[in-house]
Amino acid sequence: MSRDLGGILARHRNDPTRLVQILRDVMEADGWISPPAITALADGLGLPRARVEGVAGFYAFFATEPRGRYRVLFSDNITDEMAGSVELRQRLLDAFHVRLGEVSRDGLVSIDVTSCTGLCDQGPALLVNGRAIPRLTHARIGAIAAMIRGGAPLTEWPDNLFEIHEHVERQDVLVTTPFAPGEALGAALARGPEATLGEVERSLLRGRGGAGFPTGQKWRLCREAPGERYVVCNADEGEPGTFKDRFLLARHADLVLEGMTVAAFAVGAQKGLLYLRAEYPFLLPGLEAALARRRREGLLGERIRGAEGFDFDIEIHVGAGAYVCGEESALLSSLEGERGIPRNRPPYPVTHGYLQRPTAVNNVETLAKAALVARHGADWLRSRGTGRSTGTKLLSVSGDVARPGIYEYPFGVAVKQVLEDAGARRVQAVQVGGPSGTLLAHNELERRIAFEDVPCAGAFMVFDESRDMIDVLHNFARFFAHESCGFCTPCRVGTTLERQMLSRITSGKGTRKDVKDLGHVARLMKAASHCGLGTTAGNAVLDAFAKFKPSFDRRLASLDVLPVFDLDESLAEAREVTGRDDVGAHFPEEP
Ligand SMILES: Cc1cc2nc3c(=O)[nH]c(=O)nc-3n(C[C@H](O)[C@H](O)[C@H](O)COP(=O)(O)O)c2cc1C
Ligand code: SF4
């Protein structure tokens, strides 16, 4: 157990809402969170031990059993797989004679997989003790193995191994409009909070995090709710295939932080929280430096830009490897030091958010756009895009393209235009918006990226004709099964069944019955899950049924063979336990 546990607790003011941050520090110091450490933390924070244990067990980046001194996690995203990650991973496993998920006998190294690391434009990638290494090759894997074997501390590994590149392949107004820190705040202060809010409403800015909720309306609901208010920047960016927020935080941090400050001015908040995904620790020094600079320049802190009563500051919280924490209510729980379980909604965060107080939660890109709306006015945004989708959208383009990277387009751009610009050839499919989004077939490339046609939070993954779409679905199913928080049965059981059935189909043991059951499960999850993770976990399967049916048939062992697994039968035990055996407790037969 860390000798510095007292120091860690003191650094976090023994504040239970900082539990996730405290556990991160314990992981950093000890490499795992031991039972005595859990007891000591519970005592120090005045929490039940079970609560600390529950949080430690929830997040993928917390280990409650000893791991290797070097903890290696390969990104399991489909684009990493397409770029050869499985072979590279095997090479490292062989080098240390370990199996996936195991710790080497000497305790030196453990090797496992993690969900997408947000480096799909430069995969394959891995994390070692939380630090990202992109652009893996056999040479890089050889060098990593040698450094691990030699016991070199990470600080002595060559810097270039950890270099993250930002490839900006197409720019539009978000990226090209010049911006000096303080400009947007100056314009907002001159207008006043009500008129600033009015300008954001008039711009028709919609959230860029996925749901597309009107930002002005969200801010107004928050402003009108009684009590101390908060602004939260959602930088969790966990959807596989998305990395545009990484780019904004790396290159345009001031714009994002200013967007948060404008939001605070408009809603009347004094505190902001930026929730940064655990896979992006390389962004922390730059963000902390930007915060410090802004404090020095009077753009954060008390009396911002000399305005009496305008006090606001921002704190960064780092996640711990849970995709569901991108869901805004789960994110708020995580910020409060809890497990990231999505809450019942309503009430919504605008009235009952952080610490049950009114909170405006916005995506990184939304806040960057809001800052520019405050500076240049509503018409600046409305001059681009479509009537219902104003402005531009950042796309994270990856997969089978010649030029993966960041592309900024006005909303309404045709999918085929993006493909042409990115150098895609022989396109079979495009997954827009990540595994939870929309799977487009080659005959749908005229469709447009816009809320009224194909919405896209950011991910744009391209698959050429050489790819088997069933392998893609299998990868997505692994992702959802791994990331389901387990709170509700349709998603907990459904994502596991989905993964199992796709596993059978990809290994050539699937039957028509599996395919039929897969459809049942996907529809059931969509209809009955508690949060957006479960309701979207079957999207790609349902799209593939409609558009890639021959791919399924090709992979079935025999179209007529009897099923080895009966989905309805597999739920018999659950029916017995719950005492239910009515029609609703059975999977319906397909008409
Ligand atoms: C499973 C799940 C994961 C999500 N992940 C993110 C995320 O990483 N970043 C994000 O901004 N929104 C994410 N969202 C959407 C948020 O719940 C929320 O709608 C968004 O942060 C609101 O900001 P916006 O209005 O600016 O889009 C996710 C939603 C779900 C259901
Ligand atoms: S849908 Fe899935 S992720 Fe969401 S609450 Fe239910 S189990 Fe958790």
Pick the atom of ligand 1 nearest to 235's CA: 9
Assess contact for 239 and 199: CB atoms under 8 A: no
Q: Does ligand 2 come within 6 angstroms of the Cβ of 333?
A: no
Burial class (CB in 10 A: 0-12, 13-18, 19+), 88: buried
Tokens of 326: 């991108």
Please name which ligand lies nearest the alpha carbon of 236: 1
Mean pLDDT score, 40-53: 97
Q: What is the pLDDT of residue 266?
A: 98
Tens digits of per-residue pLDDT, 154-190?
999 999 999 999 999 999 999 999 999 999 999 999 9
- For residue 575, the model assigns a pLDDT of 60
Place 434 in a pLDDT band, splitting at 50, 70 and 90: very high
- What's the pLDDT score for residue 577? 54
Q: How sure is the predictor about 4, in pLDDT bands with cuts at 50, 70 and 90?
A: confident
Q: Which residues form the pocket of ligand 1, taking CB atoms under 6 Å from any ligand atom?
A: 207-211, 213, 234, 236-239, 324, 326-328, 361-363, 366, 531-533
Ligand nearest to the CA of 535: 2
Q: What are phi and psi of 272, to 5 degrees?
A: -125, 150
> Whose atoms come closest to the Cα of 324: which ligand?
1
Task: Kindly tell me if the per-residue pLDDT of 311 is higher than 60.
Answer: yes
Q: If you measure from the C-alpha of residue 207 to the centroid of ligand 1, how many angstroms do you get, rounded to a whole number?
A: 9
Q: How far is the CA of 327 from the centre of ligand 1 (A)?
A: 5
Q: How confident is the model at residue 429 (pLDDT cuts 50, 70, 90)?
A: very high
Closest by CA position to 258, among listed 297, 204, 218: 297
Residue 324 CB–ligand 2 contact under 6 Å? yes
41-45-46 Cα angle (round to 5): 115
Pairing of strands 168-170, 405-410: parallel
Give the residue-averaged pLDDT of 542-555.
89
Residue in the block written with tokens 């079970």: 50
Mean pLDDT of 6-32: 96
Of 571 and 242, more confident:
242
| Residue bearing the CA closest to ligand 2, atom 6 | 488
pLDDT computed for residue 553 by the predictor:
84
Identify which ligand lies nearest to the alpha carbon of 485: 2
Whole-prediction pTM: 0.94
Residues contacting residue 14 through CB under 8 Å, at least 6 positions apart? 44, 45, 46
| Residue 532, ligand 2, Cβ within 6 A | no
Task: Give tens-digit pLDDT for 194-232.
Answer: 999 999 999 999 999 999 999 999 999 999 999 999 999
The mean pLDDT of 115-125, rounded to a whole number, is 97
DSSP assignments along 151-218, one per residue: T--GGGS-GGGG-----EEE--HHHHS---TTHHHHHHHHH-HHHHHHHHHHHT-B-SSSS--BHHHH
pLDDT confidence band for 254 (50 / 70 / 90): very high
The per-residue pLDDT of the chain, averaged, comes to: 94
Closest CA to 271 of 300, 307, 314: 314
| Ligand 2 centroid, distance to 487 Cα (angstroms) | 5
Question: Could you give the CA distance from residue 538 to residue 169 in angstroms, rounded to a whole number?
Answer: 32
- Model confidence at 552, in pLDDT bands (50, 70, 90)? confident
Q: Give the integer Cα–Cα distance in Å for 207 and 364.
A: 9
Give residue-wise pLDDT tens across range 499-529: 999 999 999 899 888 899 999 999 999 999 9
| Top mutation candidate among 339, 488, 497 for ligand 2, by most atoms within 8 Å of CB | 488
Q: What is the pLDDT of residue 591?
A: 40
- Report the chain's C-alpha Rg in angstroms: 24
Above 90 in pLDDT, residue 439?
Answer: yes
Q: Which of 87-101, 330-344, 556-570 has the lowest mean pLDDT?
A: 556-570
For residues 89 and 586, the model is more confident at 89
The rounded Å distance from CA 324 to ligand 2 centre is 8
Query: Is residue 576 scored above 90 in pLDDT?
Result: no
Q: Is the peptide bond before 214 cis (omega within 30 degrees of 0)?
A: no
* Tokens (6 digits) for 441: 């077939």
H or E element at residue 395 = strand 392-399
Does ligand 2 come within 6 angstroms of the Cβ of 530? Answer: yes
